[in-house]
Amino acid sequence: MPELEIEAALDAAFKRCELFSCPLNDQQKQILLQALQELAQEWLDGDGKIPIGADGFGSSETPSGNPLDELAPEERQALLEFVRREESENRPWKTTLLNDWVQERDSGTVQFIRDRYGLQWLERVKPFHLAQYASAEQGEAIRLKVGDRIEVTNGLWEWVQEEGPCSREWFLCTVISIREPSDEDEAEIEERGDRYTSCVVRFDMGAEYEIQGVYDWNRPNWRWVSE
């Protein structure tokens, strides 16, 4: 893989990190660039091409569908548990993995991602892919953060039907604040009468809306952007 291609791929990855509110600093970017250049050199075969294998390099096509579908059930469960644990500690899970890879640390129960799937597979995984495997019992794999782009349905503020005069519509917006029960004292929680997370979103035209019970009763009324 030519150096320019590596730099272009990393630049795209850095922009995605910024989009999902987990930007890397300049030192981390430089470390990743150097590490990938070294890996690419190691993987060069006799024809001067990088073999197409589990690590995903060398492929000219991006598979469609949910990347998590490609995992064995036990691998998928291990990944979801890892993501929930890292996100609950306010550590972006992809950044944790990349830091492990750059520093040659073992990633424990998710080491298989590096060993068998690689960076290109990791880059394909988006929040909406993880959300497809979320369950009511286990909760969200990735929690909302300020700056996240999501879509909300008009079912939040009006009665909608799957078929009828008031059908369901989706609108792009940006999360601008989040209120967790743990951020409030007991008196405030008792006064409000609930212990659920809420967030405020801002639509592209400037209007704002507060979503109560964002992970509970209103969970069907928002979704991660699939682009």
Tens of pLDDT, residue by residue over 48-66, are 444 334 444 444 455 668 9
Using DSSP's 3-state secondary structure scheme, residue 211 falls into: strand
Neighbour-count burial of 222, counting CB atoms closer than 10 A to its CB (0-12 exposed, 13-18 middle, 19+ buried): buried
pLDDT band at 150 (very low <50, low <70, confident <90, very high): very high
Measured CA to CA, the distance from residue 145 to residue 96 in angstroms comes to 17
Q: Among candidates 145, 129, 85, 137, which has minimal Cα distance to 109? A: 85
Element (H, E) at 29: helix 26-43
Measured CA to CA, the distance from residue 28 to residue 13 in angstroms comes to 12
What's the pTM value of the predicted model, to 2 decimals?
Answer: 0.64
Measured CA to CA, the distance from residue 5 to residue 208 in angstroms comes to 41
Quick one: tokens of 177?
Answer: 């604040």
Measured CA to CA, the distance from residue 5 to residue 10 in angstroms comes to 9
- Partner residues linked to 208 by β-bridges: 202
Quick one: tokens of 135?
Answer: 């369950």
Whether residue 13 contacts residue 6, with contact meaning beta carbons closer than 8 Å, is answered with no
- Cβ partners under 8 Å of residue 36, min gap 6: 6, 10, 119
User: Would residue 73 be called left, alpha or beta, if left means φ above 0 and alpha means ψ between -120 and 50 degrees?
Assistant: alpha
Residue that wins the pLDDT comparison between 140 and 128: 128
Domain boundaries in the chain? 3-131, 149-224
pLDDT tens-place string over residues 6-63: 666 677 677 767 766 677 777 777 777 766 666 665 554 444 444 334 444 444 455 6
Whether residue 111 contacts residue 82, with contact meaning beta carbons closer than 8 Å, is answered with no
